[in-house]
């Protein structure tokens, strides 16, 4: 029996959950919506993703150790905690250097990194995180990019009720990578600073304003990568 025949033979209302039925229904779903094929990540990008994940874990360990340092009163425990922090800092720096080296050795990634770091507020580590967390940047529509990052406001309406919009889902690691750059951009990037101040003056909470800057920063990165051009200030 052919694959297409097997798919057709599986009814949509099948009340079972097996690998074969799941595969058949997913194949039918894909055939109906015809999703756009996306390129498979390169081996270099796979290695960078592994390194980025390891670095993120080390940064969490460092943050936890620094928080413990504030509460420790015993001199012995303070020394031991400081000894624990030193190798963590060295490992974080080594992984960061390897990420930069891998990116520099790949012409496409090197160009993309240069474009991202041209944006005021977006540093090298944050730009590397964007490349790893969302390799699709530059090939997405703005609404797709915002939704994939979990930065698109979701409506909560029912009948006459109009609920408060909020963000949810998406790639948590990407949002975390954008948070600090958004804080910097809200102060030093002319366009994003204006956006932030406009929202604050309109009475919006600072957290909402920063989220809007994160979304605008992501869409800016998406547009620049799509056009293969570096950031430049708007002409007056």
Evaluate whether residue 5 is within a structural domain: no
For the chain, the domain total comes to: 2
Per the rule left: phi > 0, alpha: psi between -120 and 50, beta: everything else, 18 is beta
Please tell me the predicted confidence (pLDDT) of residue 120.
Answer: 86
pLDDT band at 22 (very low <50, low <70, confident <90, very high): confident
Q: Of 86, 105, 124, which residue sits at a domain end?
A: 105
Helix spans in 106-141 (H) = 107-117, 124-133
Instruction: Choose the weakest-confidence range: 6-10, 62-66, 107-111, 133-137.
Output: 6-10
Q: Do residue 116 and residue 91 come from a single domain? A: no
Evaluate whether residue 161 is within a structural domain: no
Q: Do residue 148 and residue 182 come from a single domain? A: yes
- Which has the higher per-residue pLDDT, 168 or 43? 43
pLDDT band at 11 (very low <50, low <70, confident <90, very high): low
Q: Do residue 135 and residue 216 come from a single domain? A: yes
Q: Which of 26-30, 90-94, 147-151 has the highest mean pLDDT?
A: 90-94
pLDDT band at 89 (very low <50, low <70, confident <90, very high): very high
CA 156/CA 166 separation, integer angstroms: 8
Evaluate whether residue 80 is within a structural domain: yes
Q: Of 105, 120, 144, which residue sits at a domain end?
A: 105
Q: Do residue 96 and residue 187 come from a single domain? A: no
- Phi and psi, residue 162, nearest 5°: -120, 100
Evaluate whether residue 26 is within a structural domain: no
How much is the average pLDDT of 192-215? 90
Give me the domain span that covers residue 130.
110-156+171-236
Between CA 107 and CA 110, with CA 108 as vertex, the angle to 5 degrees is: 65
Q: Do residue 191 and residue 214 come from a single domain? A: yes
Q: Do residue 70 and residue 151 come from a single domain? A: no
pTM of the shown model: 0.76
Q: Do residue 233 and residue 116 come from a single domain? A: yes
Q: Do residue 48 and residue 125 come from a single domain? A: no
pLDDT band at 235 (very low <50, low <70, confident <90, very high): very low
How large a percentage of the chain has pLDDT more than 90? Answer: 46
Q: Do residue 57 and residue 149 come from a single domain? A: no
pLDDT band at 130 (very low <50, low <70, confident <90, very high): very high
Q: Do residue 146 and residue 64 come from a single domain? A: no
- Parallel, antiparallel, or unpaired for β 161-162 and 157-158? antiparallel
Q: Do residue 89 and residue 148 come from a single domain? A: no
Please tell me the predicted confidence (pLDDT) of residue 165.
Answer: 67
Q: Of 90, 105, 120, which residue sits at a domain end?
A: 105
Rounded to the nearest integer, the mean pLDDT of the chain is 85
Number of residues in the chain: 236
Evaluate whether residue 25 is within a structural domain: no
Q: Do residue 85 and residue 183 come from a single domain? A: no
Evaluate whether residue 236 is within a structural domain: yes
Please tell me the predicted confidence (pLDDT) of residue 151.
Answer: 83
Evaluate whether residue 15 is within a structural domain: no
């Amino acid at each position: 029996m052919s694959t297409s025949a097997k798919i057709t033979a599986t009814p949509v209302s099948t009340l079972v959950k097996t690998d074969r039925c799941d595969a058949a229904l997913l194949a039918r779903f894909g055939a109906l919506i015809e999703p756009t094929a996306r390129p498979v990540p390169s081996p270099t990008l796979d290695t960078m993703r592994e390194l980025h994940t390891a670095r993120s874990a080390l940064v969490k360990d460092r943050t936890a150790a620094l928080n413990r340092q504030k509460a420790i009163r015993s001199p012995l425990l303070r020394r031991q905690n400081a000894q624990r922090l030193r190798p963590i800092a060295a490992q974080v720096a080594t992984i960061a250097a390897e990420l930069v080296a891998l990116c520099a050795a790949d012409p496409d990634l090197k160009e993309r990194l240069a474009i991202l770091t041209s944006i005021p507020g977006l540093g090298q580590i944050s730009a590397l995180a964007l490349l790893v967390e969302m390799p699709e940047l530059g090939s997405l529509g703005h609404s797709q990019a915002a939704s994939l990052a979990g930065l698109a406001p979701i409506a909560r309406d029912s009948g006459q009720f109009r609920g408060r919009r909020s963000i949810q889902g998406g790639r948590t690691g990407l949002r975390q990578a954008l948070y600090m750059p958004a804080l910097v951009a809200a102060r030093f990037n002319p366009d994003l600073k204006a956006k932030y101040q406009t929202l604050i003056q309109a009475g919006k909470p600072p957290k909402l304003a920063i989220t809007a800057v994160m979304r605008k920063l992501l869409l800016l990165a998406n547009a620049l990568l799509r056009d293969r051009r570096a950031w430049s200030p708007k002409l007056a």
